[in-house]
Structure 1
Amino acid sequence: MNPLGRIDQVGIVVRDLDAAADGMRRVFGAEPHTRQENTYRRTIYRGDEIDASVGVMLYDLGGIELEFLAPRGSGNVWQDFLDERGEGLHHIRFAVDSHTAARDDLHSRGVETYQEGESMRGGGVRYAYYDTVPQLGFLIETLNPGGRA
């Protein structure tokens, strides 16, 4: 069994959500179904507890969620990526049955956790980003939509 489950989201880091919305409108004729400012409280970033803020814009493209992320402030997974690599593909997210099993599998492969915390969804739903940039050029994110550890 693959502990990473199925791909359900592609994340893109941008500097400007308005510019990204204009691009989506021109290229796909699409409007976001969600646009909001999120602050992830007490999230763990490279081993330290922080509050991490990001502007988020979401689109549904054929059953895959396209997420645009505009970091607010420094010292988080989104701003690090923007500073180091510029705008572009940030992560591919997998819906996992078990957050723990996915983490243990990735750690056994030498992939470290970059940032993790409680999802804005609440209810025990957690997210984690894993540092696969050296191997893949982007991060892997996991989310346990059922809220199971």
Structure 2
Amino acid sequence: MNGPGKLDQVGIVVRDLDAAAEGMRAVFGAEPHTRVENTYRRTRYRGREIDASVGVMLYDVGGCELEFLAPRTTGNIWSDHLESTGEGLHHIRFAVDDHAAVREDLLARGVEPYQEGESMRGGGVRYAYYDTLAQLGFLIETLNPGGDRVSD
């Protein structure tokens, strides 16, 4: 990725958000700033359209967001991780200005989109996960926080 943007999130897939919250309390004395249940409607997963539900818990850790994700449905990027790898590091996310440019760069490098769609933030904000498991052992996610210059 030529100038990937700012690293702004580390994502961890877990089976149980309550257990993850207890762990964060025990280790860091931290409480989540957000805990929600999200359903991503009409998101693209491996080239087909799906609805994907996931429990999400967010922490601010030194200016970087720590995201815990607990899948509520199967056949999506989070449940795939639990089935193939178990709990643990899922992705690192970069804030980008231009999804199209990042996508083109990654495709030229042989990196395919895994799951992508409209963020729960709305306003034209989109996310995309890229399949970098073979190369890195985790996924790359991009998010255009400003909602500008998006493309599919």
Contact 2:2 2:105 in 1 (8 A): no
Residue 129 of structure 1 aligns to a residue in which SS? Answer: strand
RMSD: 1.0
Give identity over the alignment, percent.
80
1:17 aligns with 2:25: no
Which one-letter code corresponds to 1:117 in the other structure? Answer: G
**Distance in structure 1 (CA, Å) of the matches to 2:90 and 2:139:** 6
Instruction: Note the C-alpha offset of 1:3.
Output: 4.1
Structure 1 length-normalised TM: 0.98
Point out where structure 1 has 5 or more consecutive residues left out of the alignment. none
1:57 aligns with 2:57: yes
Which one-letter code corresponds to 2:39 in the other structure? Answer: T
CA deviation string 1:59-83 (max 9, x = no partner) = 0001000000000111000000110
CA deviation string 1:71-109 (max 9, x = no partner) = 011100000011001100000000001011111111111
**Distance in structure 1 (CA, Å) of the matches to 2:147 and 2:14:** 29
Return structure 1 stretches of 4+ with deviation > 4 angstroms: none
Provide the residue aligned with 1:141 in structure 2: 141
1:35 aligns with 2:59: no
Instruction: Note the C-alpha offset of 1:4.
Output: 1.6
**Distance in structure 2 (CA, Å) of the matches to 1:124 and 1:73:** 25
CA deviation string 1:98-134 (max 9, x = no partner) = 0111111111110000000000000000000000001
Contact 2:10 2:67 in 1 (8 A): yes
Point out where structure 2 has 5 or more consecutive residues left out of the alignment. none
Structure 2 length-normalised TM: 0.96
**Distance in structure 2 (CA, Å) of the matches to 1:57 and 1:123:** 22
**Distance in structure 1 (CA, Å) of the matches to 2:143 and 2:2:** 14
Which one-letter code corresponds to 1:49 in the other structure? Answer: E
**Distance in structure 2 (CA, Å) of the matches to 1:122 and 1:25:** 31
